[in-house]
Every structure is written in C-alpha cells, then in structure tokens.
Amino acid sequence: MSLARSNAQLLIPASQRAEINPRSFLSSPTLLYLFIVTQLPLVFTLYYSTLNWNLLRPDNIRGVGFNNYIRTAQDPDMIIIVGNTLLLSLSVLVLTLVLGMILALLLNRSFPGRSIARTLLITPFLIMPTVSAVLWKNILFHPSFGLFAAISISLGVQPVDFLGRFPMVSVIAVVVWQWTPFMMLILLAGLQSLPQELIEAGEIDGANTLGIFRHITLPHLARYIEVAVLLEVLFVINIFGEIFVITSGGPGITTTNLSFHIFQEALSRWNIGRASAIGIYAVILANIVVVFLVRFLRRQEKERAL
C-alpha cells in the first residue's frame, strides 16, 4: 500500500507535490454548506426577481427583466415602508445600546442576588418572538383588560389604546424589551475583561466616575459595541414575528417593514417575482446600513484614540 502511494507521488511533478495537502480538503464541506445555505438562495432570488410569476397563475410565467425592480421603486408605499424599517431598526439599536450599557454597568458591580438578577434580565431574550408579542398585546397593551389599562383605571385615568394610537412605538417597545439582554450580555462580557488596574490608576490620577467611563471604559468597549451593533442590526432589520402578531403591519402600512411587505407579496398576493425583487432591495438596504454603522463606529474609535 505504501509502495503504491510512493509510486503515485513520483508521478506528480516536484513543483506541485508540496502543494497537495489533505488538510486543505477539510474545509471543503463547510464551504459547500455555506454556499448552499447563503449564496444559492440569493442566486435563486435574483432569478425569480426577473420573472412575472404569480402562484395563482402558474402557467403564465415569463421573464420581465428589471420590470419588478422598476415597479417596486415606483410604488409610493415603498418610501414609507423603507422609512418604517429604518425607524424601527435604528430606534431599537439606540435604545438597546443605552439600556444594555446601563444594565451591564449595574450588573458589573457586586451586590446580593446578582446571579438571580442576571438570570431574570436575560429571560426576555430567551422567549420566542411570537410569544413575546402575544404577551405584550394581550396582557399589557390590551385597552380593556391589559395591565396598563388596569393601572390607568386604578389611578382614575382613561386607558390608552397603545396599539391603535401608537402602533410603531408599541412594536419598538416589544423589540427593545426582547433585544436589550443581548446587548447587555455582550457589554457585560467586555466590562468583565477590563483590567481593574486601569480603573484604579484613573482614580489615583483624580478622574471621577464620568471621566473613567469616558476615557477608560468606553474605549475598552469599542470593539464589543461594534460586534453587538452589527449582529443586532442584521437581526432587527428583519423583524417579522412581532409585527405579524401585534399589528399585522397596520393600521394601514404604518408598521409595515420590508420583511412583512415581502410576506404580503409572496404569501398574500402570491407574487413571487415582485417579492423576490423586494427581497433584493432588503439585502441592499441591510448592507448599506451595516457599512454606514461600521464606518461610523470606526470613525468614533479613531477620534477617541486621538
């Protein structure tokens, strides 16, 4: 067996013999899996977006080029839907960053029952989005028998129909409640990796709490903030379950984002071609937002370094 292997290797030129390494093939299944899961669906989506394909008329499929993209761009509702997507994503991102930072700073201190507090604060992130939406819609937001309505009645105040009067604010509140623990965990991990000697040195130099946070803690957390922001924005920009359960995109299209609009086109109107075109627009928007956030965070990091 070894003799046959040696003879086979002698047939390979010396210049190429060193390049053949069995270890280089170990990553092939992973790369193939990533291609099938990520790139192949994108290729099919690009292809479907060039078709006039409605599932109600399966025998009338024809290529229309970029017509779906043009019609989608000319739709006056798309401006509102893209604005809703950006408003929802950026509002959730800012609020979760602020609240997550506050909770991480509090949990980084020693106090009785800290482990229990951490467990309770992490719990919202472990609940399924649809369950969270049902909980907030029926137990908290309901204008007749919800908790907020009961508190208002006990105070002699007229209950507020949050879902009717403030639908987008209600959706943002639910998503913030769900995603704040995610931001808190990453920032807490960054705080726990901060050397205590740096804080003690700042205190010796006369820095107050705000100065230590601004010049020591925040620069140390820059990389953690960048990772948390990028991961969260990729998920939040595709929020669907909360909108579907709480408002169904309404009233009108006031809470409709791109993900819910794709669902409406594909599974309500059965227009696969146009839904695919909207999906490509969503991918482009997500990449633009990520690139903008990365450049913004890197610029802030360089300014702090100077």
pLDDT value, residue 304: 65
- 78-305: what fold? MetI-like fold (1.10.3720)
- For residue range 63-77, what is the model confidence (pLDDT) as tens digits? 888 999 999 999 999
Which residues face 51 on adjacent strands? 63
pLDDT value, residue 39: 86
pLDDT value, residue 4: 45
Domain ranges of the chain: 78-305
Q: Is residue 216 within 8 Å of residue 152, measured between CB atoms?
A: no
- Of 106-110, 282-286, 296-300, the poorest mean pLDDT is in 296-300
What is the residue whose two structure tokens read 């010049």? 215
DSSP string, 175-231: HHHHHHHHHHHHHHHHHHTS-HHHHHHHHHTT--HHHHIIIIIHHHTHHHHHHHHHH
What is the residue whose two structure tokens read 């008329």? 57
CA 249 to chain centre: 19
pLDDT band of residue 170 (cuts 50, 70, 90) is: very high
What angle, 0 to 180 degrees and rounded to 10, lies between the N-to-C axes of helices 272-305 and 40-48? 130
pLDDT value, residue 80: 95
pLDDT value, residue 2: 44
Report the alpha-carbon distance of residue 96 to residue 216 in Å, rounded.
22
Name the average pLDDT for the chain.
Answer: 86
pLDDT value, residue 174: 95
- The percent of residues above 90 in pLDDT, for the chain, comes to 46
Looking at per-residue pLDDT, the higher value among 253 and 301 belongs to 253
pTM: 0.85
Report the alpha-carbon distance of residue 248 to residue 135 in Å, rounded.
16
Provide mean pLDDT across the span 108-116: 87
CA 110 to chain centre: 31
